[in-house]
Amino acid sequence: MVNYKDLGLVNTREMFAKAVDGGYAIPAFNFNNLEQLQAIVQAASETNSPVILQVSSGARKYANQTLLRYLAQGAVEYAKELGCKNPQIALHLDHGDTFELCKSCIEMGFSSVMIDGSHLPYEENVALTKKVVEYAHQFDVTVEGELGVLAGVEDDVVAEHHTYTRPEEVVDFVTKTGVDSLAISIGTSHGANKFTPEQCTRNEDGLLVPPPLRFDILEEIEKRIPGFPIVLHGSSSVPQDKVATINKYGGQLKDAIGIPEDQLRHAAGSAVCKINIDSDGRLAMTAAVREVFAKSPAEFDPRKYLGPARDSLKELYKHKIENVLGSNNKI
Ligand code: G3H
Ligand code: 13P
Ligand code: ZN
C-alpha cells in the first residue's frame, strides 16, 4: 500500500473548498505521457495554481500504472524545482468503473478517485459509490461520483432532457453515498465533436454557436446542496485555430465544436470547482506535431516534434488557468 501523502500529493478536499468559496475552478488535465505531465506541471507552477493530474483507465493501460505513479511523484518534486514551495497536486482516477479499479488506484498512491456509476440504475449507482467512498475514506482519499449521463455526439443534447442530472436526486445521492464531489450533466460531452452543426445556430460572422449549457439545472442543484463541490466533465472548448492548423497540415477533423470559454468562466464562478479538459490538449499537441512534420519533413528526432507539442500544450494550460478557470495564484 502506497499512501499518496508519502508522495507529496494532496487529496481534493481543501482545494475544492477554497475554489467554491473563491469562485474559481481547479483544472483537471488528463495525462498519458512525460510531455503532457511536463506541460501540466510547468503551467501550474508558473501560474501558482493547484492542479489535478487525471488518469483514465485507458491511460493506465497505455502508460503502465507504476510508471504513472512515479511520474506523479516526480511531478511534485519537479514543481518544487520550478520554484513552487508548496505544490498542490492531486492524482485522480478519471471515470473509474469498478470498485476493484478504484481500490487498486488507492493502493497505488492516488489521492482521489472517480467512481462513475452514472450509467447504472440509480440505486446501483448509490450502492457502488457508497462502497468506494467507505473504502477510500479510510485512507483520506476523496471520491467523485456522477449523476446524469453526458450526452455523446450521437445523442440529441438539446432534446434528450432525461440525460441531464435530475436536481431532485442530488440530496439523496450525496447523503447516502458520502461522496466528496459530484459530476453533473448540464450539456457538456466528451471529445472534440460535442454538437452537430444542426444543434448550433450561426452568429453574424457565420460561425457556429453551440446551444448554451443548462445553467438553470446547475442553479437548481446548487440550491439543494449549497456549497457542495460540483464537477464538469467534457469541458474542452475545441479551439478553432488548433482545428484549422490540424486540417491545414493534412488532418481531417470535421465539425469539431466545443464549449465556449465564456460559459466555462461563468461555471467556474459557481459551485463548479473542477473542470475536466483533455481534448483541447490533444488538439494542441496534434496541431504542433503536424506543423513540424509538414514544415520539416526530414525531421526524425522525437524531441523536435514532441518538444513543440509540449510547449504548445503548456501555453494552452496557462491560458485555461488564467483566463478561463481563474485558479492562478491560489496556492
Ligand atoms: O473522459 C475521458 C478522457 O478524455 C480520457 O480519455 O479514456 O481516451 O484516456 P481516454
Ligand atoms: P473533454 O473531452 O471535453 O476534454 O473532456 C475530458 C473529460 O471529461 C475527462 O474526464
Ligand atoms: Zn470525463
Residue 152 confidence (pLDDT): 65
Residue 163 confidence (pLDDT): 86
Output the nine-digit C-alpha cell for 254: 470535421
CB-ligand 2 contact for 193 (6 Å cutoff): no
Question: Measured in angstroms, how far is the CA atom of residue 31 from the centroid of ligand 1?
Answer: 9
Q: Where are the alpha helices (DSSP H) in 56-211?
A: 57-63, 65-81, 99-107, 122-137, 167-177
From 29, 31, 95, 282, mutation site for ligand 1 pocket: most ligand atoms within 8 A of C-beta: 95
Determine the Cα–Cα distance for residues 75 and 69; give it in Å rounded to an integer: 10
CB-ligand 2 contact for 234 (6 Å cutoff): yes
Question: Measured in angstroms, how far is the CA atom of residue 63 from the centroid of ligand 1?
Answer: 13
CB-ligand 2 contact for 144 (6 Å cutoff): no
Question: Measured in angstroms, how far is the CA atom of residue 95 from the centroid of ligand 3?
Answer: 6
Output the nine-digit C-alpha cell for 151: 450526452
Residue 187: closest CA among 263, 253, 92, 280: 263
The residues that bridge with 90 in the sheet, in sequence order, are 52
Q: Taking CA 137 as the corner, what is the angle to CA 133 and CA 139, rounded to the nearest 5 degrees?
A: 135
Active site residue 94: yes
Phi–psi pair at 277, nearest 5 degrees: -135, 120
Question: Measured in angstroms, how far is the CA atom of residue 247 from the centroid of ligand 2?
Answer: 22
Sign of the torsion formed by the C-alpha atoms of 281, 282, 283 and 284: positive
How much is the pTM?
0.97
CB-ligand 2 contact for 279 (6 Å cutoff): yes
Residue 41: closest CA among 326, 314, 325: 314
Determine the Cα–Cα distance for residues 238 and 245; give it in Å rounded to an integer: 12
Question: Measured in angstroms, how far is the CA atom of residue 301 from the centroid of ligand 2?
Answer: 30
Catalytic residue, chosen from 94, 116, 180, 280, is 94
The residues that bridge with 317 in the sheet, in sequence order, are none
Is residue 267 packed enough to be buried (19+ CB in 10 Å), middle (13-18) or exposed (0-12)?
buried
Report which secondary-structure segment, H or E, holds 145: strand 142-147
CB-ligand 1 contact for 280 (6 Å cutoff): no
Residuewise pLDDT in 10s, the chain (331 residues) = 999 999 999 999 999 999 999 999 999 999 999 999 999 999 999 999 999 999 999 999 999 999 998 999 999 999 999 999 999 999 999 999 999 999 999 999 999 999 999 999 999 999 999 999 999 999 999 999 999 998 764 444 444 445 899 999 999 999 999 999 999 999 999 999 999 899 999 999 888 999 999 999 999 999 999 999 999 999 999 999 999 999 999 999 999 999 999 999 999 999 999 999 999 999 999 999 999 999 999 999 999 999 999 999 999 999 999 999 999 999 9
Q: How far is CA 289 from CA 59, 294, 317, in A?
A: 20, 9, 17
Output the nine-digit C-alpha cell for 260: 465556449
Report which secondary-structure segment, H or E, holds 27: strand 26-30
CB-ligand 1 contact for 56 (6 Å cutoff): yes
Q: Which atom of ligand 1 is the closest one to the Cα of 190?
A: 1
Residues 139, 168: contact at Cβ < 8 Å? no
Is 219 in a helix, a strand, or coil? helix
SS percent in the chain: helix, strand, coil, step 5: 50, 15, 35
> Cell 487525471 identifies what position?
54
Residue 73 confidence (pLDDT): 95
> Cell 432525461 identifies what position?
162
